[in-house]
A and B are shown apart, each in its own frame.
Chain A
């Protein structure tokens, strides 16, 4: 049974319980953070590295975390930052990872078993600009609220709705064209 974020923060501020609280935080969010990252960087090993870097930053940043903020969106924001920095520094690698998930091009360690339509979907998503891809993933796969996404990317709800709508249109057009 996971504690809610407020309880985790209360535990963290209890003297001597910081490590227990952080352990609870990791237990609660490690999978969610991993999948958020994985859908952007594609490759499992890269997602593993970025996820771990994210939690190291969360651990180091917790002492300065403003308790009135939302813990979940704060962590997601760190993960998002780490992901975008990784993609920026490893564009060719990420592009190669997207190519590697094509059926017929997969390696044994690609950790992707999607069928044809799932492969086409991820290829369509890959055509989006990085930040639009991010918004799409958070809305479509993670089912976050627009208000949460706005906090994570420092955008407005209106612009996010527009961006998500445009992303959907592009993806469907891509799926239709490459049918």
Chain B
């Protein structure tokens, strides 16, 4: 006797007929460009000069300077509203990440919850 485990598809001929069909498409040449893009974000980044620690030091220094600047504006009088707005829109970390292309945050480890059976 055939069980569901051994021949699941025979129990659902409709699904068996649809197997192998996919309406999804990709742009022409996509997979070639995907490979290049992946390698540029991985191997190429690894080849870049290691300035990670330098940027951290610069980042902390700039943070202190930023705080001091903002504090001085408040304590000494706001005479330039436009420069204060400019500081408010950009964090130091965002700036250095944008300039250096270095991600200052570490990747999280993998997790996968247990499957909930319905």
Cβ of A19 and Cβ of B117 under 8 Å apart?
no
Q: Which chain B residues lie closer than 8 Å to A52 at the CB level?
A: 34, 37-38, 41
**Is A111's CB under 8 angstroms from B15's CB?**
no
Measured between alpha carbons, how far is A39 from B116 in the docked complex, in Å?
Answer: 20
> Do A153 and B115 touch (CB < 8 A)?
yes
Q: How far is the CA of A118 from the CA of B22 in the complex (A)?
A: 7
In this complex, what residue of B is CB-closest to A141?
B22
Q: Which of A96-119 contact B (CB under 8 A)?
A: 101, 111-115, 117-119
If A163-B118, A166-B118 touch, does A78 touch B34 (CB 8 Å cutoff)?
A: no
Task: Considering the complex, give the chain B residue whose CB is closest to the CB of A19.
Answer: B43
Q: Contact between B42 and A56 (Cβ–Cβ < 8 Å)?
A: yes
Asked if A30 CB lies within 8 Å of chain B CBs, one says yes
**Chain A facing B: main interface SS:** helix
Query: Could you say which residues of chain B place their CB within 8 Å of the CB of A112?
Result: 23-25
Chain A neighbourhood of B4, CB < 8 A: 161, 165
Say yes or no: A81-B112 contact (C-beta < 8 A), given A22-B42, A57-B107, A111-B27: yes
Query: Among the listed A22, A111, A113, which residue makes an inter-chain contact with B43, where contact means beta carbons less than 8 Å apart?
Result: A22
> Which among B12, B37, B110 is the interface contact of A172 at CB below 8 angstroms?
B12
Q: How many residues of B sit at the interface, in one of the four size bands?
A: 35 or more
Number of A-B pairs, beta carbon distance below 8 Å: 120
Contacting residues of chain A (28-61) with chain B, CB-CB under 8 angstroms: 30-31, 34-35, 38-39, 44, 48, 51-52, 55-57, 59-61
Task: For B112, give its contact among A30, A57, A135, A154 (CB under 8 Å).
Answer: A154
- Residues in B with CB closer than 8 Å to A129 are 116, 118
Docked CA distance A121–B19 (Å): 10
What per-residue 1/0 map shows which CB atoms of A126-147 lie under 8 Å from chain B? 0001011001000011000000
- Distance (Å) between the CB of B24 and the closest chain A CB? 6
Chain B interfacial positions (CB closer than 8 Å to A)? 4-5, 8, 11-12, 14-15, 18-19, 21-27, 30-31, 34-35, 37-39, 41-43, 46, 107, 110-112, 114-118
A-B complex: 8 closest residue pairs judged by Cβ atoms:
A114-B23, A59-B42, A118-B23, A55-B38, A155-B115, A19-B43, A111-B25, A168-B12
